[in-house]
Homo-oligomer: A and B are copies of this chain.
Amino acid sequence: MTKDYAVGIDIGGTNTKFGIVDRKGNILEQGRMRTDTHENAEDFISELYVNLSKLIDSHGGSEKFKGIGVGAPNGNYYTGTIEYAPNLKWKGIIPMAELIEKKFELPTKLTNDANAAAMGEMMYGVAKGLKHFITITLGTGVGSGIVIDGKIVVGHDGFAGELGHIIVKPGGRLHKGTGMRGSLESYASATGVRETAIEFLTNEPDTASLLRNYSIDDLTSETVYNCAIQGDVIANKIFEFTGEVLGEALANFVMFSSPEAIVLFGGLTKAGDLILKPTVRAMEANLLPIFQNKVKVIFSDLKEADAAILGASALVWESEH
């Protein structure tokens, strides 16, 4: 029987998304489940199996499937393991590819979630045809995939491209997951925007803000966005600040690998120009002249998570070439 389909799985800190993908990169059906409600990887895989088996069965059963591709935080392409992922509850080294392969009885490959997304962008997204680009996921955390000369940079051990954990403000905000101070992820993630909101509201107790109508628990990057588009001064300052921090970091990345484009995706990009404009401005201001006005900063046009699902599924076809 011809193996027409692949499964692509994107394991994120909060949610896991999965899809059935054909050889042309069409996502035929997809689903999602919580990641963070599972205390250990085995429980997670059990629920994943229940959810995903239905989709596999409704597409002809596992004989029609060539394999499973997984993108996961701190995923290692060489070993198929997830190692010490600060944004996951499962600690230590998890042999995720092996566990999934046993459960589903399908060949399984795994890579870093952000590398999967970069591959999705390169094969099916805005980075199609580009040889030098960087993707940055602005989600619960900040992930990254670096492409140089058309290849994903994995480094000598499979872990390259952890740009979310780069220190952008030495001695700055504490990142609870890693214990580091001043990392990009502490600022330019949904979590970071929320923390910036709390900080700004606390530091300026006398400035009126729509954000004060929300309880601390309801202060999310979405509520900040909703207030910002209504002209709220503090909400706008929050995006301005977030963009500045992100743009300064992007300038550093450009001076490293000189990419043609930086592709942004993930929840924060829903803020559109509110985040894009200060980001580009800060990036340009921190670049040497030889790099200025050359690098396109663009939003992914793939639907949320599609890039990662597609990129993960591409791992399955990869072995055929």
Contact = CB atoms under 8 A, between A and B. Distances in A.
Interface of A: 74, 83-84, 86, 131-132, 146, 148-149, 151, 153-163, 165-170, 178, 180, 248, 251-253, 255-260, 286, 288-291, 294
Given A146-B256, A155-B257, A165-B255, 14 more contacts: A74-B290, A84-B289, A132-B155, A148-B153, A153-B256, A159-B291, A160-B255, A161-B256, A163-B256, A166-B252, A167-B248, A167-B252, A178-B288, A180-B286
Contacts of A146: 256-257
Nearest to A158: B258
Nearest to A76: B290
B258 A159 contact: yes
A99 to B, nearest CB: 19
Contacts of A151: 149
Contacts of A253: 256
Which among A83, A169, A252 has the greatest number of chain B C-beta atoms within 10 A?
A252
A68 B289 CA distance: 28
Which among A151, A253, A258, A260 has the greatest number of chain B C-beta atoms within 10 A?
A258
A154 to B, nearest CB: 7
24 contacts: A83-B290, A84-B288, A86-B288, A148-B148, A148-B153, A149-B151, A153-B257, A154-B258, A155-B257, A156-B258, A156-B259, A159-B290, A159-B291, A161-B257, A162-B255, A162-B288, A162-B290, A163-B256, A166-B252, A166-B255, A167-B251, A169-B170, A180-B286, A256-B256
Contacts of A149: 151
Nearest to A169: B170
A294 to B, nearest CB: 7
A258 B157 contact: yes
A160 B290 contact: no
A217 to B, nearest CB: 29
A10 B197 CA distance: 51
A169 B248 CA distance: 11
B258 A155 contact: yes
